[in-house]
Amino acid sequence: MAQPPEQQPPPQPDFHLIGNRLTGLADQVNVHPTELAEGGIQQLDTVAGKIHLMPNLPVVQQGHLAQQVQDILQRLDAIVARQDVMQVSINNLQVAMQVGMANLQAGLRMVPMQLRNAASSMTAPILIPQNDQIAPPGFPFNKLAIVTIDAVNAQAAAQYLGLPPLPDNATVEDRRQQLVDYLGCVYP
């Protein structure tokens, strides 16, 4: 009686070979985990592209390993997509920080002028930011002039100083206060 042919166990994946292939892929694109943490998102895209070729390896096409590789590839794609969204968020934060820093620096440049104006008398000339244009007629050059300025001249002075426009229904007191706050002209 003939013996049934001995069944050979399915070949085991060569994990050493797979590890060498992954290391080779990383070396080809010159990516290491520390570089990815330091902003190598474009490099991660390159690695993802190389890893997407893994299902073509003969050792990966066997059984459950192929499904595991597909699962890993799906997770990798999700990570890359999230990193793209994170990069957009980081870029938006950088822009917001730059705008905030520019506003802070502009405000700090005004402090010496505002301190000087705050300490000056009501009739002493006030300091104003440098401007290439000639001051409009009626521009207040001291605290007393600011306290007594009319709405039209206050609006022209604010425009000359580059202040944001107030609503049309703003009172003359609102317009004077805008000048006082900007120039630092504290008065008793």
Question: How far is the first Cα of the chain from the last one, in angstroms, to the nearest whole number?
Answer: 120
pLDDT of residue 173: 94
DSSP string, 66-115: HHHHHHHHHHHHHHHHHHHHHHHHHHHHHHHHHHHHHHHHHHHHHHHHHH
Q: What is the CB-side half-sphere exposure of residue 89 using CA atoms within 13 A? A: 6
Dihedral sign computed on CA atoms, order 58, 59, 62, 67: negative
pLDDT of residue 75: 82
Q: What is the CB-side half-sphere exposure of residue 50 using CA atoms within 13 A? A: 17
Q: What is the pTM of this model?
A: 0.52
Do residues 128 and 167 touch, judged by C-beta distance below 8 A? no
Q: Note down pLDDT in tens along the chain; length 188 residues.
A: 556 666 666 555 555 656 666 566 555 555 554 454 455 556 666 666 666 666 666 555 555 666 777 777 788 788 878 888 888 888 899 999 999 999 899 888 889 989 999 998 999 999 888 877 788 888 999 999 999 999 999 999 999 999 999 998 999 999 999 999 999 988 66
pLDDT of residue 36: 47
Q: Which residues contact 123 (CB under 8 A, 6 or more apart)?
A: 142, 143, 144
pLDDT of residue 53: 65
pLDDT of residue 83: 83
pLDDT of residue 37: 47
Partners of 91 in beta bridges: none
* Burial class of residue 118 in the structure, from the number of CB atoms within 10 Å of its CB (0-12 exposed, 13-18 middle, 19+ buried): middle
Do residues 176 and 154 touch, judged by C-beta distance below 8 A? yes
Please, which contacts does 166-171 make with residues 24 or more away whose CB atoms are closer than 8 Å?
A: none
